[in-house]
Structure 1
Amino acid sequence: MGSLKKSDFNKPICAACDSGGMEFFMEKSSTLNLRINPILKQNAEDVLSKLGVPMSTAVDMFLNQVVLVRGLPFSVTLPNAPKSIDTTGMTDTQIHAKIQRGYDDYKAGKV
């Protein structure tokens, strides 16, 4: 397989067949090796098996969506923490005091 050029990413990955379906003309000859958390992998396999989708197909679907939308096929954002636990505006002393109060409540059986 030759090296990819920038123009290769503008080529379609599928085209309409004579039958009205979709024909994919990217051959599956590359291997993707990656390390992931084994618990995450098992949980994903459990969900995918209930859907009848092999892991390799799910990864292929994800990568096709990345190409089609030219980015991640979902938004990536930081969660908004409830104000009661948001530490972004706190000093180290305030954070430690909040943790200590939580620990004291736990020890007193309030939680």
Structure 2
Amino acid sequence: MPGSSKKTASIFTRVSPELKEQAEAVLNQLQIPMATALNMFLQQVVNQQGIPFDIHVARRPVNYDALSKEQLDTELQRGFNDFKTNNTFSATSIDGEFKE
């Protein structure tokens, strides 16, 4: 149908050549063009009203000697909660990590 094509807008961004190459390699295996992948990402931002994956700062090891009693109690409770929700690692998996 004439005139039924959607309008498009351009987005220009800079990324490291290494990141671009690595992403292209993955997308090529998936047979998804870069433009389609970026469009999918932006659509998910709209659908989810936010970034469509978790973003967080990696937790640093806790210096337990520097904690107040309240802070220590909070850290201990976090550990208990992880245990109750099975958010733990087996000894075998940890051993495997050290061997790598």
TM-score, length-normalised on structure 2?
0.54
Where in structure 1 do 4 or more consecutive aligned residues deviate above 6 Å? Answer: none
- Look at both structures and tell me which one has the larger radius of gyration over its CA atoms: 1
Instruction: Name the residue aligned to 2:69.
Output: none
- Cα offset, 1:75, TM superposition: 1.1
Structure that is richer in helix per residue: 2
1:39 matches 2:18: yes
2:19 & 2:35 partners in 1: Cα distance? 15
1:26 & 1:80 partners in 2: Cα distance? 48
> Cα RMSD (Å) of the superposition?
2.3
- Cα offset, 1:26, TM superposition: 8.9
Q: Which runs of 5+ in 2 are unaligned?
A: 67-100
Change (3 A) 1:28 1:50: farther
Say which of 56, 62, 66 aligns to 2:35.
56
Higher relative contact order (CA 8 A, sep 6+): 1
Moved more, 61-70 or 74-83: 74-83
Deviations 1:36-61 (A, max 9, x none): 11100000000000011010000000
**What are the equivalent positions in structure 2 for 1:48-87 lying under 5 Å apart?**
48-83=27-62
The count of corresponding residues between Structure 1 and Structure 2 is: 61
Structure that is richer in strand per residue: 1
Deviations 1:10-53 (A, max 9, x none): xxxxxxxxxxxxxxx99241111111111000000000000110
Instruction: Name the residue aligned to 1:105.
Output: none
